[in-house]
A and B are shown apart, each in its own frame.
Chain A
Amino acid sequence: MPSADDEISRQALTLASRLDDTVSPILISGVYAPGAFARSLREVIDQRAPSAVLAPGTDRGNEVLAHLAAMLDTPMAANCVSITLGDPATVTRIRWGGSLLEDARLHGSPLLATVAPHAVTAEPAELELTQLAPSEDGAVTVAEHIPTSSSGVSLADADVVVSGGRGVGSAEGFAVIEELAALLGGAVGCSRAVTSAGWRPHTDQVGQTGTKISPEIYIACGISGATQHLAGCKGAKKLLAINPDAEASIYASADYAVIGDLHEVVPAISAEIRKARGA
């Protein structure tokens, strides 16, 4: 595995443990060199002949496994939520960022698959870790690292994300969203329509092609709930939707709903929080 120290990798490991008794977690470290990572994995495959190679369904996991699949000319299934070994192996994988599932057969060996984030709950495992530290890629060199300039909470890591959609109405309208996010120590997000309208930068965009988030609570204000957006906030533990349209599709995915205009509801929540803290 390219990385074993994060939640998604532990989820992948949990799913792997359910497939087979013999699971060897591999931690690959070193500077960015997915091609070299894949070559070192190929050596492990040659030595141990595993029935399956799984990786976390992160950008890096998908990338390294795709290198391996291309190298071996073997099929690969990205972002699986369930896997059954066999010939052919069958998987269920996500499409459209999780809005749709696909049952598929893989004709090739070993089975190459990545595990969709949050497909299973990670269970603790006591397994011996193999560490690989391949040399650099050669073709792609790492030139530099530009650290993030903003000091605020990053969208991907925030425990609270307050997001605004088309319903916010203007760039200035985000003041109430920012206020609530600040009160809760959270980050501000937005939908794709907002980015296209130029109200917020793309770095704030939550969605299939923006940032995928996994906060404790996601507060979606004036967001109708297009699949593109929902794909980015599936990781949220709780979803509170504030929308004037009781029929909005966001409610189908929400835990809590406030039916109303965000420009009235959000300031009222901020005021209530201040009151609660003041008391």
Chain B
Amino acid sequence: MLGAAVLVSGGLFAHRVRALVSLLSDAQPVSRSGHVQRRVRNEATVVLGQSKLLSRLGPGLAHAFIFWGFLVLLPTIVIAMIGVVDRTATLPWLGHQGWYALLVDIFAVLVLAGILAALWIRKIQRPRRFEGSHLGEADLILALIATIATTLLLWHATRIALGLNEWPRAWSPVSYALSHLFGTDHVTRVLERVFVWAHVLTILAFLAYLPRSKHLHIFIAAVNVWFGRTGPGGRLEPLDFEADDADIRFGSGNAADLTFKEVLDTFSCTECGRCQDACPAFGTGKVLSPKLLIMGLRDQVLAQEESALVPDAVPDQSVWDCVTCGACVEVCPVSIEHVDQIVDLRRHLVMVESSFPAEAEPMLRDIERASNPWGRAQSERAEWAADLGVRLLEPGDPAPEYLYWVGCASSFDERARRTAQSTATLLKSAGIDFAILGPREACTGDPARRIGNEYLFQAFAEQNVAVMNEAEVTKIIASCPHCFNTLANEYPDFGGRYEVIHHSELLAQLVRDGRLAPTQGGHAITYHDSCYLARHNDVLEGPRELVAAVGRPVEMARARKNTFCCGAGGAHMWMEERGGSINLERVHEAADTGADTLAVACPFCTVMLDDGVQSAGEKMRVVDVATLLAERIDDDAVARPGERPT
């Protein structure tokens, strides 16, 4: 009878798993090999260590108890099955270990505690992150796990009562305590059978049900974490336009276009909603919920629908709401890569359907025709440096130590231009050998890439790489985090390998070395981490050192890798915001620190937060760390460029 039950359960399980595996093997290929050490480390921390989950201690511990319990109790499945067949037999060796009996007791209780906590969170606290999740399914699964743990304990208790226990009872305090509920009579003998059968049958039912539910993650999560990205978070996977026409993948139009990792992502989602909680678009009342997006894709994949992913699986608006800040990816406990999914959806809409928010079209046309997203004349690109004596790198000139990559915003936007001027002045006064490309510097292609026009991005990547390689550039200073990310993480895919440093880090180094000596101003300054610096590229300390050098740092609630977007990423600098204002939310958060200065290290953040401060009626000054530093450098030192302060 047990054999039949195992066969049914195993058959149902295998049938479903085979279907899922075939969906995965039919998916588009994606390169996620190598970096084995890193992948093992991810498994150890993210899976075994539950690091992402434990960043929220309460729910994290609840989950960790259940998960660790699952690992510890795995052998008891075999022990129970043996027990079904022969109540006097058990697993060789392990079935006789007292310490294991103790572990089983402890973890069975911890699992139950975890379940109670989970029920408390779901039924009493009811956090917003569960909006849209399958709550009934979760309840059923919690009930199943609770049944498994309870029947296990009760089975052990009856065994102790009947004196069948192989384990010394002292090692089983909980089961032993429970054993007092039972006598040594026939009833207990029947109950022992009932519990062990209930335990085993529940497990088998669970096994059959699992791959049909969101709890598929029990098996898939570890696999998804293994195949997770090992490189920088800000890099997008390039598409290959050199392939034969039929083989070119233009992002994701329907479920068959999704990559192996993207399909695996959808299977891994547990609908925990941490991504939704972290998402600035969702948080400001927009259509996008990263969780619902992944769930929509999953449903489409499982239904094997051939219709368009947008709008059939994912509402059109949600695709455009994303600022690519990566907060969702950062918090996801199972390494789902929402941003890559969204960019792939955009790629299809932009490149194949030519369907995207109309207001972004001038930006794309201007990048293509004028080499910058504002359509300004490239000949005016170096006008910000007119009186600063900055060296303009002409073809054939000897390479400087550093190329200063100014970026379009700092070249053309009146507020961002100040950053370039401050940076150049400081570099000169510290005696750094640098030059700019001026009109030969074109848009890196970042906004085109983030809105989904990979083709346009690659054209500019190739052009810029050719210019820099020809000029024998080796080291680059970038003041725009978006340029920084593209130059450092994405240009290597196009033959451009440079050592890229953000201006804040170089300036911090120069302060550390005493080549720049600012005076302390004492103002309360709160620093806003740019997503593309902090989250995508781990640049955290440089800007903070500068802030500390000139003022009194005060941190916002969401800081460092947990930062909250300014609202401009993912080409949103050129799109209309539909719903609430991300920049306003961030400005309120900054104002709550009581700081009178909001320091930034990104030209887009400068513009967005300055706009936010104005519309919020706040009095804070939004200013780049380079300008803050320049203002606190003795004028005499700045007046003698090239000379190092002693």
Task: Answer whether A and B touch in the complex at a CB cut-off of 8 Å.
Answer: yes
The chain A residues found within 8 Å of chain B, CB to CB, are 166, 169-171, 193, 196-199, 224, 226, 244-248, 261, 264
A197 in contact with B614 (CB, 8 Å): no
Point out which of A193, A245, A248 has the most chain B C-beta atoms below 10 A from its C-beta. Answer: A193
Nearest-Cβ distance from residue B488 to partner chain A, whole angstroms? 30
- 20 extra interchain contacts, Cβ-Cβ under 8 A, other than A244-B414, A247-B414, A248-B414? A170-B359, A171-B576, A193-B362, A193-B375, A196-B358, A196-B361, A196-B362, A196-B365, A197-B359, A197-B361, A197-B362, A198-B358, A198-B359, A224-B374, A224-B376, A244-B415, A245-B413, A246-B414, A247-B383, A261-B614
Smallest CB gap from B380: residue in A: A249
A159 to B362, CA, bound (A): 30
Which chain A residue shows the least CB distance to B360?
A: A197
B583: shortest Cβ distance to chain A, in Å?
12
- What are 23 A-B interface contacts by the 8 Å CB criterion? A166-B362, A169-B576, A170-B359, A170-B576, A171-B576, A193-B375, A196-B358, A196-B362, A196-B365, A197-B358, A197-B360, A197-B362, A198-B361, A199-B359, A224-B374, A226-B375, A244-B414, A245-B413, A246-B414, A247-B383, A247-B414, A261-B614, A264-B614
Nearest residue in B to A226 (C-beta to C-beta)?
Answer: B375
- Chain A residues positioned under 8 Å from B415 (CB to CB): 244
Shortest A101–chain B CB gap in Å is 19
The majority secondary structure among interface residues of chain A is loop
Residue of B359, B361, B376, B383 with most chain A CB atoms under a 10 A cut-off: B359
Give chain B's interface residues, CB within 8 Å of chain A: 358-362, 365, 374-376, 383, 413-415, 576, 614
Within the assembled complex, what's the spacing in Å between the Cα atoms of A196 and B360?
Answer: 9
CA distance A169 to B383 in the complex (A): 24
| B375 CB contacts on chain A under 8 angstroms | 193, 226
CA distance A170 to B576 in the complex (A): 6
CB of A62 to closest CB in B, whole Å: 28
For A193, what are the chain B residues with a Cβ–Cβ distance below 8 Å? 362, 375
CA distance A247 to B416 in the complex (A): 13
CA A10 to CA B107, docked complex, whole Å: 98
Measured CA separation A261–B610 after assembly (Å)? 11
Q: A155 CA to B475 CA in the complex, in Å?
A: 53
Cα distance A261–B359 in the bound complex, in angstroms: 20
Cα separation A178 to B414 with both chains bound (whole Å): 26
Query: Once bound together, how far apart are the Cα atoms of A246 and B417, in whole Å?
Result: 12
**A245 near B414 (CB under 8 angstroms)?**
yes
Closest chain A residue, CB of each to CB of B376: A224
Q: How far is the CB of B593 from chain A (nearest CB, A)?
A: 25
Query: Looking across the interface, which residue of chain A has its beta carbon closest to that of B414?
Result: A245
Provide the bound-state CA to CA distance between A244 and B361, in Å.
Answer: 23
Query: How many angstroms from the CA of A171 to the CA of B374 in the assembled complex?
Result: 18
A245 to B614, CA, bound (A): 17
- What residues on B are CB-neighbors of A169 within 8 Å? 576
- A261 CA / B613 CA spacing, docked (Å): 13
Given the complex, which residues of A lie within 8 Å of B365, measured CB to CB? Answer: 196
Q: Which 4 A-B residue pairings sit nearest by Cβ, starting from the closest?
A: A198-B358, A245-B414, A197-B359, A196-B362
CA distance A215 to B276 in the complex (A): 52
CA distance A170 to B574 in the complex (A): 10
In the complex, the chain A residue whose C-beta lies closest to that of B365 is A196
**Nearest chain A residue, comparing its CB with the CB of B383:** A247
**Which B residues are CB-close (under 8 A) to A196?**
358, 361-362, 365
Of all chain B residues, which has the CB nearest A261? B614
For A166, the chain B residues whose CB sits under 8 A away are 362, 374
A198 CA / B376 CA spacing, docked (Å) = 20
What is the chain B residue whose CB lies nearest that of A195? B362
| In the bound complex, CA of A175 to CA of B358 (Å) | 19
A193 to B415, CA, bound (A): 21
Q: Which residues of B contact A199 (CB under 8 A)?
A: 359
The CA of A246 and the CA of B384, in the complex, are separated in Å by 12
Give Cα A183–Cα B216 distance, bound, in whole angstroms: 64
State the CA gap A224–B376 with chains docked (Å): 9
CA distance A247 to B383 in the complex (A): 10
In whole Å, how far is B1's beta carbon from the nearest beta carbon of chain A?
A: 69
B569 shortest CB reach to chain A, Å: 17
In angstroms, Cα B415 to Cα A224, docked, is 15
CB nearest neighbor in B for A198: B358
Cα of A1 to Cα of B196 in the assembled complex, Å: 107
Tell me the smallest distance from the CB of A170 to a CB of chain B, in Å.
Answer: 5
User: Which of A166, A224, A246, A261 gathers the greatest number of chain B CB atoms within 10 Å?
Assistant: A166
B360: chain A residues at CB < 8 Å are: 197
Q: Give chain B residues whose Cβ lies under 8 Å from the Cβ of A244.
A: 414-415
Query: A245: nearest residue on chain B (CB-CB)?
Result: B414
- CB neighbours (8 Å) of B358 from chain A are 196-198
CB distance from B355 to the nearest CB of A (A): 13
Bound-state CA distance A193–B370 (Å) is: 13
CA A169 – CA B358 in complex, angstroms?
A: 13
A171 and B358 alpha carbons, distance in the complex (Å): 11
When chains A and B are docked, how far (Å) is the Cα of A209 from the Cα of B222?
59
- Chain A contacts of B413 at CB under 8 A? 245
In whole angstroms, how far apart are the Cα atoms of A199 and B414 in the complex?
23
Query: Which residues of chain A are within 8 angstroms of B361 by Cβ–Cβ distance?
Result: 196-198
**Given the complex of chains A and B, what is the CA–CA distance between A203 and B200 in angstroms?**
75
CA distance A244 to B374 in the complex (A): 15
| Distance between A199 CB and nearest chain B CB, rounded to angstroms | 7
- From A169, A197, A198, A224, name the one whose CB has the most chain B CB atoms within 10 angstroms: A197
What residue of chain B has the Cβ atom nearest to residue A197's Cβ?
Answer: B359
User: Bound complex: CA of A224 vs CA of B414, how far in Å?
Assistant: 11
CA distance A247 to B365 in the complex (A): 24
* Chain B minimum-CB-distance residue to A227: B377
On chain A, the residues within 8 Å of B359 by CB distance are 170, 197-199
Residues on B with beta carbons closer than 8 Å to the beta carbon of A170: 359, 576
For the complex formed, measure the closest distance between the CB of A191 and the CB atoms of chain B, giving whole angstroms: 10
Could you tell me the distance in whole angstroms from the C-beta of A227 to the nearest C-beta in chain B? 10
Q: How far is the CB of B567 from chain A (nearest CB, A)?
A: 12
Nearest B-chain residue to A249, judged by Cβ: B380
A248 — which chain B residues lie within 8 A by C-beta?
414
How far apart sit A224 and B413, CA to CA, in the bound complex (Å)? 11
- Kindly state the separation between the CA atoms of A247 and B377 in the bound complex, as whole angstroms: 14
CB closest residue in chain A, given B576: A170
A170 to B357, CA, bound (A): 12
Q: How far, in Å, is B73 (CB) from chain A's closest CB?
A: 57
